[in-house]
């Protein structure tokens, strides 16, 4: 059996379904270019019929990257497939990913249909997609809960109809790794014509087993894995790309090869986290900030004597360079440009000048400016196109004093000021802001995170605000956590203003 494993990256489709983490087309192109450098084989760029934004992103990503295959998702519906084919028109290598639910639960409750009819619809969709592209992938949604005998009939029928790849999603993240591996084995052994297609894994992490299931799938014959950077995705997310890549690297004896350049993993992880405003949990395998931090005395002692005593991965293998240049107020344009380029960010001269100015302001407040800081600065231009901006904010507070805040906002060019008290400085600032923006809104979630260490560090704030039954996510970053909190709140408001007009 061929031991080349294809990496199908769905960060920009399944990953991007995380509420509040949507990217605009420019940001998606930036991620797609980085994925190309990382070496993924397929980029699932979107679900074109779902929105004009997704349609446009598939078009622009198709123009921006050349090496990976660009894939577009559809339901088993002709108009979806027509739309996907149109969106893929500029892709050098293109794939349509079509499919339908195959579990009895989906057949009965979602489609009010029968097993026979579902096979007919699956075959028709594959044949229809084949009119546009040679490379057609079929997904059997909820295959994790589909009985193996029926699943084999579906897989056999779609391969006969021309599917080049067949995706076996564990849509609900239900399967045990052994069960999922046995499912792939069953299909490898019972489907006539299985040698004409590649089986693909697509595992969700609801029970924390996505990586284990994916690995079992590969060990039993799947030769494509559908994964996302940082394991992002709806609910508990998808299989994490960096985990699969590093498992196969650390266990080279398995003999399974990918095209991933693992040294690009850390940069890609940071880019996705920063553009999506989605922090990576500190203890996340491979890319969490504690993944290589040894704190117990026994471990530190062992690592100092020989790193391999407690470390199975060399941080350099994922692109973490202890000797990376730390930027300070004395660093020039070229050093900043270089660090940004290491992270796949190329800015035009004008934007680089702006980021450099912001960098100098930050370097005045902090001794050392880290890669996370400059990624945050490079992403900050999104705030400039927003309708509401903070002009100034003054807060007084302390022990034994009732906190008071005064704020001035610029709303579409006009300035408004207000002042209010609160039970803390953030509460006072938000109360003042609410005096200007008189909408019913409730703060649902509020997290503050320091990027590195030290009291001079930049604080990142993530907020969720509910307005008219919808949740909006906002982000702010500053060395002043009250300013960062208000920025995050304003970021939420800017989003719901846009959606409701
Ligand atoms: O989880 C799933 O079943 C999917 C399919 C649409 C491929 O994402
Ligand atoms: Zn999925």
Residue-wise pLDDT for 346-370, tens only, equals: 888 888 999 999 889 888 887 778 7
Whether the CB of 47 sits within 6 Å of ligand 1 = no
- For residue 97, the ligand closest to its alpha carbon is 1
- For residue 100, the ligand closest to its alpha carbon is 1
pLDDT above 60 for 384: no
Element (H, E) at 45: strand 42-46
- Check residues 78 and 354 and name the one with the higher pLDDT: 78
Whether the CB of 171 sits within 6 Å of ligand 1 = yes
Q: Which of 386, 476, 494, 380 is nearest to 437 (CA)?
A: 494
Mean pLDDT of 85-98: 98
pLDDT above 60 for 138: yes
Element (H, E) at 184: helix 177-190
Mean pLDDT, all residues of the chain:
90
Instruction: Give the pLDDT of residue 451.
Output: 59
- For residue 171, the ligand closest to its alpha carbon is 1
- Residue of minimum CA distance from atom 6 in ligand 1: 141
Mean pLDDT of 116-123: 98
pTM: 0.82
- For residue 47, the ligand closest to its alpha carbon is 1
Q: Which of 17, 487, 90, 36 is nearest to 271 (CA)?
A: 36
Tens digits of per-residue pLDDT, 295-347?
666 666 676 777 777 778 999 999 987 656 678 888 888 888 888 887 777 88
- Check residues 357 and 454 and name the one with the higher pLDDT: 357
How far from the centroid of its chain's Cα atoms is residue 206's Cα? 17
Cα distances (angstroms) measured from residue 495 to each of 28, 200, 282, 455, 462: 18, 37, 28, 31, 14
pLDDT above 70 for 176: yes
Whether the CB of 98 sits within 6 Å of ligand 1 = no
- Check residues 242 and 301 and name the one with the higher pLDDT: 242
Whether the CB of 14 sits within 6 Å of ligand 1 = yes
Mean pLDDT of 207-231: 98
Range of weakest confidence among 77-91, 103-117, 357-371, 434-448? 357-371
Whether the CB of 174 sits within 6 Å of ligand 1 = no
Instruction: Give the pLDDT of residue 501.
Output: 35
Tens digits of per-residue pLDDT, 256-272?
999 999 999 999 998 99
Whether the CB of 141 sits within 6 Å of ligand 1 = yes
CA angle 133–138–140, rounded 5-degree value:
165
Angstrom distance (rounded) from CA 366 to CA 444: 31
How far from the centroid of its chain's Cα atoms is residue 499's Cα? 22
Residue with tokens 């973490």: 320
Whether the CB of 202 sits within 6 Å of ligand 1 = yes
Helices (H), 283-400: 297-305, 333-342, 349-365, 371-379
Ligand 1 atom with minimal separation from the 167 CA: 7
Neighbouring residues of 51: CB distance < 8 A, sequence distance ≥ 6: none
Cα distances (angstroms) measured from residue 59 to each of 23, 39, 125, 336, 346: 15, 20, 22, 31, 21
pLDDT above 60 for 500: no
Task: Determine the distance separating the centroid of ligand 2 and the alpha carbon of 204, expressed in angstroms.
Answer: 6
Q: Is 218 exposed, middle or buried (0-12, 13-18, 19+ CB in 10 A)?
A: buried
- Residue of minimum CA distance from atom 1 in ligand 1: 171
* The token pair that represents 34 in the structure block: 């980085």
Residue with tokens 């991965």: 313
């Amino acid at each position: 059996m061929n031991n080349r494993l294809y990496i199908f990256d769905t960060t920009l489709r399944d990953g991007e379904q995380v509420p509040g983490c949507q990217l605009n087309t420019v940001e998606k192109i930036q991620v797609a270019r980085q994925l190309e450098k990382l070496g993924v084989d397929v980029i699932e760029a979107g679900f074109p019929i779902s929105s004009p934004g997704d349609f446009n992103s598939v078009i622009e990503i198709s123009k921006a990257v050349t090496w990976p295959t660009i894939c577009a998702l559809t339901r088993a519906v002709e108009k979806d497939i027509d739309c996907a084919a149109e969106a893929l028109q500029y892709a050098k290598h293109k794939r349509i990913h079509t499919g339908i639910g195959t579990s009895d639960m989906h057949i009965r409750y979602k489609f009010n249909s029968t097993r026979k009819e579902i096979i007919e619809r699956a075959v028709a969709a594959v044949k229809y997609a084949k009119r546009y592209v040679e490379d057609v992938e079929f997904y059997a949604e909820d295959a994790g809960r589909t009985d193996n005998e029926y699943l084999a009939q579906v897989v056999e029928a779609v391969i006969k109809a021309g599917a080049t790849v067949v995706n076996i999603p564990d849509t609900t993240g239900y399967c045990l790794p052994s069960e999922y591996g046995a499912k792939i084995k069953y299909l490898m052994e019972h489907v006539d014509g299985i040698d004409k297609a590649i089986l693909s894994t697509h595992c969700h992490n609801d029970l924390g087993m996505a990586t284990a299931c994916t690995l079992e799938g590969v060990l039993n014959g799947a030769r494509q894995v559908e994964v996302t950077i940082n394991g992002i995705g709806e609910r508990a997310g998808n299989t994490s790309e960096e985990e699969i890549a590093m498992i196969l690297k650390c266990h080279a004896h398995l003999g399974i090869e990918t095209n991933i350049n693992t040294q690009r993993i850390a940069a890609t992880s940071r880019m996705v986290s920063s553009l999506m405003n989605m922090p990576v949990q500190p203890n996340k395998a491979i890319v969490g900030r504690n993944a290589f931090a040894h704190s117990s005395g026994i471990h530190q002692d062992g690592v100092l004597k020989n790193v391999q005593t407690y470390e199975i991965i060399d941080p350099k293998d994922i692109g973490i360079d202890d000797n990376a240049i730390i930027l300070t107020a004395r660093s020039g344009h070229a050093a900043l440009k270089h660090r940004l380029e290491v992270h796949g960010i190329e800015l035009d001269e004008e934007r680089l000048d702006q980021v450099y100015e912001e960098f100098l302001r930050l370097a005045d407040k902090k001794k050392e400016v880290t890669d996370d800081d400059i990624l945050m600065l490079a992403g900050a231009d999104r705030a400039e196109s927003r309708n509401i901006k903070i002009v100034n904010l003054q807060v007084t507070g302390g022990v034994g004093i009732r906190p008071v805040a005064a704020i001035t906002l610029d709303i579409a060019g006009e300035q408004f000021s207000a002042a209010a008290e609160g039970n803390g400085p953030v509460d006072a600032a938000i109360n003042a802001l609410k005096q200007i923006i008189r909408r019913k809104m409730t703060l649902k979630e509020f997290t503050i995170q320091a990027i590195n260490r030290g009291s001079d560090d930049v604080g990142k704030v993530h907020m969720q605000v509910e307005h008219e039954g919808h949740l909006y996510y906002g982000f702010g970053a500053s060395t002043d956590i009250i300013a960062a909190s208000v920025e995050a709140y304003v970021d939420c408001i800017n989003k719901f203003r846009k959606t409701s007009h």
